[in-house]
Amino acid sequence: MRTQRNTQWIGLFLIPIFMGVLWAEAMRGLLLTWALFAVGAAATRLSIVQYYSREVAQRSTGEQVEFFRRRRLIWPVSALFWGLTTLLYFDRSSLADQFICWLILAGLAMYSINSLSSHLATMRAYLNTLAITALTVMGWRMAVELEFSGPPYHWWLVALLIIFWQVLRQAGLRLHVTHRKNFELQYRNNQLIESLTRQTQAALDAVEIKNRFLASAAHDIRQPVHALGLYADWLGSEPELVHELAPKIVESTKAVNQLFDSLFDLARLDSGKIKLNIDNVDLAQLLHDLEVQYRPLCEAKGLQFRVHVQPGVAVSDPILLQRIVGNLISNAVKYTQRGGILVASRVTPSGRRIEIWDTGVGIAPVHQREIFREFYKVPTHAGTEDGFGLGLYIVARLTHILGHPLALSSRPNKGTVFRVMLTPTDPQAAAARAVASVQQLLPGRLRAADLQSQDS
């Protein structure tokens, strides 16, 4: 449709030229009638093209196709009027005027394959209508009116017209194929540009994540390491304070170890080297092991630590599941200053689940999605200076990989509950999700792989 505007003006310009050539020899009434219909057809085509450019070009692909489908007959109708010009000049005017008229008709036919070859059906309809109409008029003149007594060059004209018609059809087909390859190449180039853009953005995102990682890690590790240095100097100068300083040194060492454990977990997740070992997990034993680990931390803060066990077995990775629940318990202990922690395994109509309840500071709705991002810390939360913003991010990644839906309910200053639904883990699906979680970090690499598979 975008190539048609110039074509319409050329068609309108040729009408007066054609009339000028035949004005002295053709029947003027018939010539004027033809000119009236030809101008009407050309004006209709021009109005369609202008309406398309003004109203339809910005619509959806389906609407554009439907608009063209309803109006595409105007092109073969225009070809019909131009084919009927043979009534005016074939064997009715001088050879010089016939030559000029045939030249105009041939030019229109050749120009049509350039302007219409993008849509093969329309181009063929135009050429077929033009050629068949001209051949029909010539056949009527030769067989009915002249009863095959006309000059021999009539047959040569018929033969040349048929050959020219078929040559134009083949040339139009080749041009259509060329157009299609060019559009496909343009589309593929756009895909490659999009892929490169995504890869560049992924690289920039990786740099940003790395910078945030270094800044956060440096900030979080500075305090416990600095404290370790101070305690060590203090202990060196006053060894009699060993009983007072030793617990503080242990706490600072635990903080450093916790940071490195989180960083190692994150590195394994992002590298895709996490190994899955799906097996039956005894929930009672799992919660007992976690109770042994975290009860002393709660009691040291003056918090109650309760465990409610509904015996049963879950199909999961025992190490990763323990890491998930452990991170949630550690998070609950960190942000609870009074009250206590409840860890429970329950049986529900939809299956088994583990719940971690706390009476801590809670999480406002505006932050409840953000807390699962890496290095995110809720502003104004007491205790965030001791956290690294990785625990819940790792929990979200691991629950997604294992296929254990994670739910959160929280009220500020009232407490929080995390629920891990223990849907049985399918090993193959979990492995696929582990690979996909890594690829999502680099969308450009995934897009490039898609393009490569399309090329193959």
Phi, psi (rounded to 5 degrees) for 58:
-95, 0
Residue 408 DSSP symbol = E
Burial of 149 (0-12, 13-18, 19+ CB in 10 A): exposed
Cα–Cα nearest to 118, from 155, 64, 158, 172: 172
Give the DSSP letter string of 25-60: TS-HHHHHHHHHHHHHHHHHHHHHHHHIIIIITTS-
Query: What is the domain partition of the chain in residue ranges?
Result: 4-150, 279-425
**Segment 256-305, tens digit of pLDDT:** 665 666 556 555 555 555 677 889 999 999 998 888 878 888 888 899 99
Residue 246 has φ and ψ, to the nearest 5°, of: -60, -45
Q: Give Rg (Cα) of the chain.
A: 41
pLDDT at residue 222 in the model: 58
Instruction: Using CA atoms of 27, 28, 34, 40 in order, give the dihedral in degrees to the nearest 10.
Output: 180
Is residue 331 a contact partner of residue 391, using CB atoms and an 8 Å limit? yes
Q: What is the pLDDT along the chain (456 residues), one digit of tens a residue?
A: 777 766 677 778 888 888 888 888 888 889 999 999 998 988 888 888 888 988 888 889 889 999 998 988 998 999 999 999 999 999 888 889 999 999 999 988 998 888 888 888 999 999 999 999 999 999 999 999 998 898 999 999 999 999 999 999 999 999 999 989 998 999 999 889 988 888 888 778 767 766 665 555 555 555 566 666 776 777 777 777 777 767 767 766 766 665 666 556 555 555 555 677 889 999 999 998 888 878 888 888 899 999 999 989 999 988 889 888 988 998 888 889 899 999 999 999 889 999 999 998 888 887 777 777 765 666 555 444 445 566 788 788 889 889 999 999 988 888 999 999 999 998 888 888 877 766 555 444 333 334 333 443
pLDDT of residue 439: 59
265, 392 Cβ separation under 8 angstroms: no
The long-range contacts involving 289-292, CB below 8 angstroms and separated by at least 24 positions, are 289/322, 290/322, 290/325, 290/326, 290/329, 290/343, 291/343
Burial 344-353 (b: 16+ CB within 10 A, else e): bbbeeeeebb
DSSP letter for 235, please.
H
Convert the pLDDT of each residue in 260-269 to its tens digit.
Answer: 665 565 555 5
Give CA–CA dist 13/18, Å, rounded: 9
CATH match for 279-425 among 3.60.15.10, 3.40.50.1100, 3.30.565.10, 3.30.465.10: 3.30.565.10
Q: For helices 391-402 and 427-439, what crossing angle results, to 10°? A: 130
